[in-house]
Amino acid sequence: MNAPPTTANEELFAYPQDRACPWQPSPGYQDLGRRGPLHRVRLWDGRTIWMVTGHTQARRLLADPRMSADRSRDDFPAVLPRLDAPIFKPIAIIGFDPPVHDVHRRLLAPDFSLKHVRAVRPQVEELARRLAADMLRAGPPVDLVQAYALPIPSMVISELLGVPYEDHEFFEAKTVGLLQAKSAEDAERAGRELWDYLDGLITRKEREPGGSGVLSRLAGQVTEDGDLTREDLLRIALALLIGGHDTTSQMIALGVVTLLEHPDQLAALRADPGALPAAIDELLRLVSITDVSGVRVATEDIEIDGEVIRAGEGVLVSSSMTNRDPAVFPRPYEFDVHRTVGDNAASGRQHLTFGFGIHQCLGQNLARMELEVAFSVLFEEIPGLRLGTPLEALPTRSGGTMQGVHTLPVEW
Amino acid sequence: MWVSADRERCISGGRCMAATSEVFDQDEDGIVVVLTSNPAPEQEDRVRKAAYLCPSRAIRIGDGPAGG
Ligand code: HEM
Ligand code: SF4
């Protein structure tokens, strides 16, 4: 249908490609999206996988039990060189199929439930106000990433896990080292340092039971022949620490950029604070910070839309493009904070920024709350906020899938 | 309309409760609890939406008074 199977491998679309605008998918993906829902693309190692840009197809594939998320399988595609690092091969929860996936996810579910998240919201509000006050005191220009976007999710996840926030510079730097590494070796090195750090931390928690946080609670449940081994716990700690702050901090940063570059939308939001939750979902849809909803490998032949995904073939679901499927989102490239407003609280939440199926983001309730607090406090406390550099000059991340900026200079 | 939820399949994201907390709740473990298996007519759209959004396809709905 799109790229005929006879196309020479070298002529296939090379994945990934950098964005030209911080909140819009790369022009190349936009082209693909116009051609149809399923495409064959070529990865850095020459391997061909499927890229899904259609919303219906994405939902079907991500909910299909014949699609495996098991990163330790030989046929699982490494979308970037860094993902070839051994530390990523059995990454907890996200990289496991049932039954192990479900057992671990259920161990964590209580700490990420909507109720729990609502209960910690006041503390996050206090934190955001303190950070905004510090910014005002320091005066412009300020790097919003270091001063605000990163400390919020970083403190929240340290508190939740029971990781000492004093160590934040270390774990933030190593997380960036792991997630932005250009080679498997660099990723492995940063990952191992985090691993050793968490190993030491869990040892301390084992010696002094009764501490606060998820890791202390789980340390008390470890059994070498049961559902949670010590190695499982370490892998879970690593996945939550990494997953918990980089995505959310970059979503705050690019969300602020998107709002500042759409003054009419920001004004509309200011005039109607009740629209904030829906506006957050619209920002999540538009920015699609991870750019990817999920990567899988087919364990059986799967027929879809007249194509056959063969057993052993890799599949990558694009969030930035499925979030722009015109069948689901009219005027898909437009940022419209009122798109999702309506009687139905769930309308417009069809975006696939948090994935779909059993791996849909465990931290989504937490992330939504952090984003709500971050945007509302920031624009309330610093109403005159503006970019400190022209949009074109923003130091954006490149060469990967995870979007973001290295720094975000702002003034007021 | 009837609605039921399979607590074994639920992966506890709370999408259903966010769609309507009149019909869905989460227990302390974050797992779905159906508050009423025969939602009021004005809730039906939200319940349909919840079934559509549920990432683990744990929510079942149907016409009539009782779940099958
Ligand atoms: C804006 C912020 C975030 C975005 C866009 C995001 C995105 C995603 C996506 C797309 C997936 C699905 C991956 C797949 O199916 O392969 C996922 C899974 C996951 N996320 Fe997030 N995430 C965010 C924040 C968080 C936070 C704050 C945490 C907290 C620790 C977190 C923890 C996880 C975990 C543990 C999984 C694996 C769930 C599973 O496999 O069952 N994420 N996330
Ligand atoms: S939306 Fe589905 S998976 Fe999520 S809590 Fe409700 S029933 Fe469970």
Q: Is residue A343 over pLDDT 50? A: no
* Structure token digits, residue A257: 């950029």
pLDDT of A197: 95
Residue A182 lies in a domain: yes
User: If you measure CA to CA, which chain B residue comes closest to A58?
Assistant: B55
Tell me the percentage of chain A whose pLDDT exceeds 90: 74
Number of C-beta neighbours around residue A3 at 10 A: 19
Q: B64 CA to chain A: closest CA distance, Å?
A: 23
Instruction: Decide: A80 and A400 in contact? Cβ < 8 Å.
Output: yes
H helices within A84-164, ranges in order? 100-112, 114-138, 144, 151-161
pLDDT mean over A356-374: 93
CA of A231 to the centre of ligand 2 (A): 28
Residue A345 CB neighbour total at 10 angstroms: 19
Structure tokens at A223: 């059994």
**Domain extent at residue A199:** 13-411
pLDDT single digits (tens) A90-131: 889 999 998 899 889 988 988 888 888 989 999 999 999 999
Distances (CA, A) of A76 to A62, A295, A305: 15, 9, 23
Ligand 1 centroid, distance to A366 Cα (angstroms)? 10
Structural domains in chain B plus CATH codes: 2-62 (3.30.70.20)
Contact flag B17-A114 (C-beta cutoff 8 Å): yes
- pLDDT band, residue A377 (cuts 50/70/90): very high
What ipTM, to 2 d.p.? Answer: 0.75
The reply to whether ligand 1 has any atom less than 6 angstroms from the CB of A244 is yes
pLDDT of residue A345: 38
**Mean per-residue pLDDT, A358-371:** 93
pLDDT over 90 at A182, yes or no: no
Ligand 1 mean position to A47 CA, how many Å?
A: 26
Pocket of ligand 2 (CB under 6 A): B 5, 10-16, 32, 54-56, 58-59
Residue from B10, B20, B27, B49 whose mutation best tests the ligand 2 pocket (most atoms within 8 A of CB): B10
A and B: number of Cβ contacts within 8 A: 74
The residues of chain B scoring below 50 in pLDDT are: none
Assigned token pair, A107: 């161990």
**What value does the mean pLDDT take over residues A311-333?**
95
Q: Are residues A113 and B30, on separate chains, in Cβ contact within 8 Å?
A: yes
Give residue B67's pLDDT. 55
Q: What is the mean pLDDT of chain A?
A: 91
Would the pLDDT of A5 be above 70? Answer: no
The ligand 1 atom nearest the CA atom of A371? 1
Measured CA distances, A399 to A289, A292, A341, A403 (Å): 14, 14, 35, 10
- pLDDT, tens digit (0-9, with 9 covering 90-100), for A258-302: 999 999 999 999 999 899 998 999 999 999 999 999 999 999 999
A232-249: average pLDDT: 92
State the number of CA atoms in the 13 A half-sphere of A99 facing the CB: 3
Interface residue B15 vs chain A (CB under 8 A): yes
Strand segments, DSSP code E, in B13-66 are: 24-26, 32-34, 59-62
| pLDDT of res. A276 | 93
SS3 A369: helix
Q: Which residue's CA is the nearest one to ligand 1's atom 7?
A: A354
Give the full edge-to-edge strand order of the sheet including A386-387.
Answer: A142-143, A409-411, A386-387
Q: Please tell me the distance from the alpha carbon of residue A404 to that of residue A398, in angstroms, as a whole number.
A: 9
Alpha helices in chain B (DSSP H): 15-19, 44-53
pLDDT at A2 over 80: no
Contact A110 B56 (CB under 8 A): no
Share of chain A above pLDDT 70, in %: 95
Q: Are B29 and A102 an interchain contact pair (Cβ–Cβ within 8 Å)?
A: no
Distance A120 CA to ligand 2 centre (A): 21
Please state, as a whole number, how many other Cβ atoms lie within 10 Å of the Cβ of residue A146.
Answer: 13
A242's CB contacts (< 8 A; 6+ apart) are: A175, A178, A179, A194
Whether residue A2 is contained in a domain is answered as no
Residue of A nearest to B46 (CA): A344
Q: What's the domain count of chain A?
A: 1
Tell me the C-alpha distance between B4 and B20, whole Å. 14
Q: How far is the CA of B54 from the centre of ligand 2 (A)?
A: 5
Flag whether A244 is in a domain.
yes
Q: What is the CATH number of the domain that holds A53?
A: 1.10.630.10
* Domain presence at residue A3: no
Q: Report residue A365 as tokens.
A: 């309730």
User: Among A70, A156, A361, which is best to mutate for testing ligand 1, by the most ligand atoms less than 8 A from CB?
Assistant: A361
For A110, the closest of B15, B30, B45 (CB atoms) is B30
Instruction: At A284, give phi and psi (nearest 5°).
Output: -60, -45
**What's the confidence (pLDDT) of residue A333?**
96
Tens of pLDDT, residue by residue over A30-55, are: 999 999 999 999 999 999 999 999 99
CA distances to A317, A357, A388 from A384, rounded to whole Å, are 38, 41, 12
